[in-house]
Protein backbone atom coordinates (compact mmCIF):
# COMPACT_ATOMS: atom_id res chain seq x y z
CA UNK A 1 0.00 0.00 0.00
CA UNK A 2 1.30 3.43 -0.92
CA UNK A 3 2.16 5.75 1.98
CA UNK A 4 -0.26 8.43 0.73
CA UNK A 5 -3.12 5.91 0.72
CA UNK A 6 -2.20 4.76 4.22
CA UNK A 7 -2.38 8.32 5.55
CA UNK A 8 -5.69 8.86 3.78
CA UNK A 9 -7.18 5.82 5.51
CA UNK A 10 -5.62 6.90 8.82
CA UNK A 11 -7.22 10.34 8.51
CA UNK A 12 -10.61 8.73 7.79
CA UNK A 13 -10.21 6.36 10.78
CA UNK A 14 -9.34 9.24 13.11
CA UNK A 15 -12.28 11.27 11.79
CA UNK A 16 -14.76 8.41 12.15
CA UNK A 17 -13.51 7.67 15.68
CA UNK A 18 -13.75 11.33 16.63
CA UNK A 19 -17.34 11.66 15.40
CA UNK A 20 -18.84 8.27 16.08
CA UNK A 21 -17.36 7.17 19.43
CA UNK A 22 -19.11 9.97 21.38
CA UNK A 23 -22.31 9.30 19.47
CA UNK A 24 -22.15 5.60 20.17
CA UNK A 25 -21.38 6.38 23.82
CA UNK A 26 -24.37 8.72 24.01
CA UNK A 27 -26.62 6.14 22.35
CA UNK A 28 -25.40 3.37 24.64
CA UNK A 29 -25.93 5.59 27.69
CA UNK A 30 -29.46 6.49 26.54
CA UNK A 31 -30.35 2.78 26.67
CA UNK A 32 -29.24 2.29 30.31
CA UNK A 33 -32.16 3.88 32.12
CA UNK A 34 -33.33 0.49 33.40
CA UNK A 35 -30.80 -0.83 35.86
CA UNK A 36 -28.81 -3.84 34.64
CA UNK A 37 -30.27 -4.10 31.11
CA UNK A 38 -30.68 -2.09 27.90
CA UNK A 39 -34.08 -0.56 27.25
CA UNK A 40 -35.80 2.26 25.38
CA UNK A 41 -37.23 3.68 28.60
CA UNK A 42 -35.44 7.01 28.16
CA UNK A 43 -37.03 7.41 24.73
CA UNK A 44 -40.42 6.41 26.14
CA UNK A 45 -40.02 9.00 28.88
CA UNK A 46 -39.09 11.70 26.35
CA UNK A 47 -41.94 10.93 23.97
CA UNK A 48 -44.52 10.81 26.73
CA UNK A 49 -43.41 14.13 28.17
CA UNK A 50 -46.10 16.73 27.41
CA UNK A 51 -43.46 19.45 27.29
CA UNK A 52 -41.55 17.52 24.62
CA UNK A 53 -44.67 17.31 22.47
CA UNK A 54 -45.48 20.99 23.00
CA UNK A 55 -41.99 22.32 22.37
CA UNK A 56 -41.36 20.03 19.41
CA UNK A 57 -44.74 20.98 17.94
CA UNK A 58 -43.99 24.67 18.47
CA UNK A 59 -40.57 24.39 16.81
CA UNK A 60 -42.07 22.42 13.93
CA UNK A 61 -44.64 25.18 13.40
CA UNK A 62 -41.94 27.86 13.57
CA UNK A 63 -39.83 25.86 11.09
CA UNK A 64 -42.73 25.63 8.64
CA UNK A 65 -43.39 29.38 8.81
CA UNK A 66 -39.65 30.07 8.48
CA UNK A 67 -39.45 27.90 5.37
CA UNK A 68 -42.58 29.37 3.78
CA UNK A 69 -41.78 33.04 4.38
CA UNK A 70 -38.04 32.52 3.89
CA UNK A 71 -38.61 31.03 0.46
CA UNK A 72 -41.05 33.79 -0.48
CA UNK A 73 -38.21 36.19 0.27
CA UNK A 74 -35.30 34.21 -1.14
CA UNK A 75 -36.67 32.79 -4.42
CA UNK A 76 -37.77 36.12 -5.95
CA UNK A 77 -34.57 37.79 -4.66
CA UNK A 78 -32.27 35.13 -6.17
CA UNK A 79 -34.31 35.23 -9.40
CA UNK A 80 -34.18 39.00 -9.65
CA UNK A 81 -30.47 39.17 -8.91
CA UNK A 82 -29.75 36.52 -11.53
CA UNK A 83 -31.98 38.08 -14.18
CA UNK A 84 -31.88 41.82 -13.80
CA UNK A 85 -29.33 42.84 -11.19
CA UNK A 86 -26.25 40.63 -11.64
CA UNK A 87 -24.10 43.56 -10.51
CA UNK A 88 -25.81 43.33 -7.09
CA UNK A 89 -24.77 39.71 -6.69
CA UNK A 90 -21.64 40.28 -4.52
CA UNK A 91 -23.63 42.59 -2.24
CA UNK A 92 -26.54 40.15 -1.84
CA UNK A 93 -24.13 37.27 -1.22
CA UNK A 94 -22.38 39.35 1.43
CA UNK A 95 -25.67 40.18 3.15
CA UNK A 96 -26.81 36.55 3.11
CA UNK A 97 -23.49 35.47 4.64
CA UNK A 98 -23.70 37.96 7.53
CA UNK A 99 -25.62 35.61 9.86
CA UNK A 100 -22.68 33.22 9.69
CA UNK A 101 -20.26 35.78 11.07
CA UNK A 102 -22.54 37.69 13.46
CA UNK A 103 -23.27 35.57 16.56
CA UNK A 104 -26.95 34.78 17.14
CA UNK A 105 -26.77 36.43 20.55
CA UNK A 106 -25.74 39.72 18.95
CA UNK A 107 -28.63 39.49 16.47
CA UNK A 108 -31.17 38.73 19.19
CA UNK A 109 -29.98 41.62 21.38
CA UNK A 110 -30.29 43.85 18.33
CA UNK A 111 -33.85 42.63 17.86
CA UNK A 112 -34.71 43.19 21.51
CA UNK A 113 -33.39 46.71 21.31
CA UNK A 114 -35.21 47.52 18.07
CA UNK A 115 -38.49 45.73 18.66
CA UNK A 116 -39.04 45.85 22.43
CA UNK A 117 -42.43 46.73 23.87
CA UNK A 118 -41.60 50.44 24.13
CA UNK A 119 -40.22 50.77 20.58
CA UNK A 120 -42.03 52.00 17.46
CA UNK A 121 -42.54 48.41 16.30
CA UNK A 122 -43.24 46.59 19.59
CA UNK A 123 -43.03 42.98 18.40
CA UNK A 124 -42.16 41.71 21.87
CA UNK A 125 -45.24 43.38 23.35
CA UNK A 126 -47.38 40.33 22.56
CA UNK A 127 -46.93 36.57 22.19
CA UNK A 128 -48.01 36.70 18.57
CA UNK A 129 -45.59 39.55 17.85
CA UNK A 130 -42.74 37.68 19.56
CA UNK A 131 -43.50 34.61 17.46
CA UNK A 132 -43.31 36.76 14.32
CA UNK A 133 -39.97 38.11 15.55
CA UNK A 134 -38.77 34.56 16.21
CA UNK A 135 -39.70 33.46 12.67
CA UNK A 136 -37.93 36.53 11.28
CA UNK A 137 -34.83 35.72 13.30
CA UNK A 138 -34.90 32.12 12.06
CA UNK A 139 -35.19 33.39 8.47
CA UNK A 140 -32.11 35.52 9.12
CA UNK A 141 -30.20 32.56 10.57
CA UNK A 142 -31.07 30.24 7.71
CA UNK A 143 -30.52 32.88 4.99
CA UNK A 144 -27.00 31.68 4.02
CA UNK A 145 -28.24 28.13 3.42
CA UNK A 146 -31.56 29.02 1.80
CA UNK A 147 -30.07 31.58 -0.58
CA UNK A 148 -27.21 29.35 -1.63
CA UNK A 149 -29.33 26.27 -2.28
CA UNK A 150 -31.87 28.25 -4.34
CA UNK A 151 -29.16 30.15 -6.21
CA UNK A 152 -27.35 26.90 -7.03
CA UNK A 153 -30.57 25.37 -8.34
CA UNK A 154 -31.14 28.48 -10.50
CA UNK A 155 -27.66 28.07 -11.94
CA UNK A 156 -28.65 24.68 -13.35
CA UNK A 157 -31.50 26.13 -15.42
CA UNK A 158 -31.28 28.91 -17.98
CA UNK A 159 -33.34 31.42 -15.99
CA UNK A 160 -33.04 34.21 -18.55
CA UNK A 161 -34.10 32.17 -21.58
CA UNK A 162 -36.93 30.43 -19.71
CA UNK A 163 -38.19 33.83 -18.58
CA UNK A 164 -38.00 35.22 -22.10
CA UNK A 165 -39.72 32.11 -23.52
CA UNK A 166 -42.59 32.53 -21.06
CA UNK A 167 -42.76 36.29 -21.60
CA UNK A 168 -42.97 36.06 -25.40
CA UNK A 169 -45.82 33.57 -24.95
CA UNK A 170 -47.74 36.27 -23.12
CA UNK A 171 -47.00 35.38 -19.48
CA UNK A 172 -46.75 38.06 -16.78
CA UNK A 173 -44.36 38.05 -13.81
CA UNK A 174 -46.39 36.00 -11.30
CA UNK A 175 -47.02 33.27 -13.90
CA UNK A 176 -43.37 33.23 -14.96
CA UNK A 177 -42.14 33.03 -11.37
CA UNK A 178 -44.59 30.48 -9.98
CA UNK A 179 -45.24 28.29 -13.04
CA UNK A 180 -41.95 28.38 -14.97
CA UNK A 181 -39.16 29.16 -12.50
CA UNK A 182 -40.27 28.01 -9.03
CA UNK A 183 -41.09 24.37 -10.01
CA UNK A 184 -37.69 24.07 -11.70
CA UNK A 185 -35.74 25.16 -8.64
CA UNK A 186 -37.79 22.91 -6.37
CA UNK A 187 -34.79 20.68 -5.56
CA UNK A 188 -32.92 23.75 -4.28
CA UNK A 189 -36.00 24.99 -2.42
CA UNK A 190 -36.42 21.60 -0.72
CA UNK A 191 -32.71 21.35 0.13
CA UNK A 192 -32.89 24.80 1.70
CA UNK A 193 -36.11 23.82 3.47
CA UNK A 194 -34.62 20.69 5.08
CA UNK A 195 -31.50 22.54 6.21
CA UNK A 196 -33.68 25.31 7.63
CA UNK A 197 -35.80 22.70 9.40
CA UNK A 198 -32.70 21.12 11.01
CA UNK A 199 -31.44 24.55 12.12
CA UNK A 200 -34.75 25.72 13.57
CA UNK A 201 -35.43 22.48 15.46
CA UNK A 202 -32.16 22.71 17.41
CA UNK A 203 -31.88 26.49 17.73
CA UNK A 204 -31.47 27.72 21.31
CA UNK A 205 -30.29 31.33 21.56
CA UNK A 206 -33.11 33.14 19.79
CA UNK A 207 -35.90 31.10 21.36
CA UNK A 208 -34.42 31.28 24.87
CA UNK A 209 -33.81 35.04 24.81
CA UNK A 210 -37.21 35.75 23.25
CA UNK A 211 -38.66 33.45 25.92
CA UNK A 212 -40.55 31.15 23.54
CA UNK A 213 -41.31 27.48 24.34
CA UNK A 214 -39.17 25.97 21.58
CA UNK A 215 -37.38 22.62 21.36
CA UNK A 216 -33.87 24.10 21.85
CA UNK A 217 -34.54 25.56 25.32
CA UNK A 218 -36.38 22.34 26.23
CA UNK A 219 -33.25 20.31 25.33
CA UNK A 220 -31.23 22.55 27.61
CA UNK A 221 -33.79 22.27 30.42
CA UNK A 222 -33.89 18.48 30.27
CA UNK A 223 -30.08 18.34 30.02
CA UNK A 224 -29.76 20.30 33.21
CA UNK A 225 -32.26 18.27 35.24
CA UNK A 226 -32.32 14.65 34.06
CA UNK A 227 -29.79 11.88 33.48
CA UNK A 228 -30.74 9.56 30.60
CA UNK A 229 -33.32 11.61 28.72
CA UNK A 230 -30.79 14.22 27.45
CA UNK A 231 -28.86 11.42 25.73
CA UNK A 232 -32.07 10.12 24.14
CA UNK A 233 -32.93 13.67 23.04
CA UNK A 234 -29.46 14.14 21.57
CA UNK A 235 -29.91 10.96 19.52
CA UNK A 236 -33.39 12.10 18.42
CA UNK A 237 -31.98 15.50 17.39
CA UNK A 238 -29.22 13.78 15.41
CA UNK A 239 -31.78 11.51 13.75
CA UNK A 240 -33.84 14.54 12.67
CA UNK A 241 -30.76 16.24 11.24
CA UNK A 242 -29.65 13.11 9.40
CA UNK A 243 -33.12 12.56 8.06
CA UNK A 244 -33.08 16.12 6.72
CA UNK A 245 -29.65 15.55 5.15
CA UNK A 246 -30.84 12.29 3.59
CA UNK A 247 -33.85 14.05 2.11
CA UNK A 248 -31.58 16.78 0.71
CA UNK A 249 -29.54 14.08 -1.04
CA UNK A 250 -32.70 12.50 -2.35
CA UNK A 251 -34.20 15.67 -3.79
CA UNK A 252 -30.92 16.85 -5.30
CA UNK A 253 -30.49 13.48 -7.02
CA UNK A 254 -34.07 13.72 -8.29
CA UNK A 255 -33.35 17.27 -9.48
CA UNK A 256 -30.29 16.08 -11.45
CA UNK A 257 -32.32 13.32 -13.09
CA UNK A 258 -34.89 15.74 -14.44
CA UNK A 259 -32.45 18.28 -15.90
CA UNK A 260 -33.19 19.21 -19.50
CA UNK A 261 -30.75 17.63 -21.96
CA UNK A 262 -28.96 20.15 -24.21
Partner 1 sequence: MPFLALANIKKSFGQTQVVHDFNMAIEKGEFISFLGPSGCGKTTILRMIAGFEQPSGGTIHINGKDQTRLKPNQRNIGMVFQAYALFPNMTVFDNVAFGLKVAGQPKAEIETRVKEMLKLIHLEHLADRYPYQMSGGQQQRVALARALAPKPQVLLLDEPLSALDAKIRVSLREEIRQIQRQLGITTVFVTHDQEEALSISDRIVVMNAGRADQIGTPSDIYNRPTTRFVASFVGTLNIIEATIVDPAAGTVMIGDQTIALRESIADKTGGETISLALRPEAGSLSESAKGDTALTGKVVSANFLGSVVRTRIAVGKNTVSFDMFNSPDLVMPAPDEVVTLRFSAGDLLVIRD
| Contacts to partner 1 by CB under 8 A | 157-158, 161-162, 164-172, 175, 179-180, 183-184, 186, 257-262
If the CB atoms of residues 67 and 166 are measured against partner 1, the closer one turns out to be 166
If the CB atoms of residues 166 and 201 are measured against partner 1, the closer one turns out to be 166
Burial (CB count within 10 angstroms: exposed 0-12, middle 13-18, buried 19+), residue 146? buried
* Sign of the CA dihedral with 172 first, then 177, 181, and 184 last: negative
Q: Give ∠ CA 111-70-170 in degrees, rounded to 5.
A: 140
- Distance in Å, CB of 170 to partner 1, minimum: 4
If the CB atoms of residues 143 and 154 are measured against partner 1, the closer one turns out to be 154
Contact by Cβ (8 Å): 44, 198: no
If the CB atoms of residues 83 and 92 are measured against partner 1, the closer one turns out to be 83
If the CB atoms of residues 35 and 261 are measured against partner 1, the closer one turns out to be 261
- Distance in Å, CB of 79 to partner 1, minimum: 15
- Distance in Å, CB of 163 to partner 1, minimum: 9
- Distance in Å, CB of 252 to partner 1, minimum: 15
- Distance in Å, CB of 251 to partner 1, minimum: 14
Amino acid sequence: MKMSKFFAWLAIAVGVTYFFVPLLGTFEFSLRMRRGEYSLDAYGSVFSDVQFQQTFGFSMLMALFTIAFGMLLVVPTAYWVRLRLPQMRPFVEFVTLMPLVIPAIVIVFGYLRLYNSSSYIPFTGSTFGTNILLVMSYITLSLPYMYRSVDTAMRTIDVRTLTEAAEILGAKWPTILFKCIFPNVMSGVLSGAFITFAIVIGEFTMAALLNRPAFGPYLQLVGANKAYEPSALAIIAFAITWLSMGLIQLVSRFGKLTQSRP
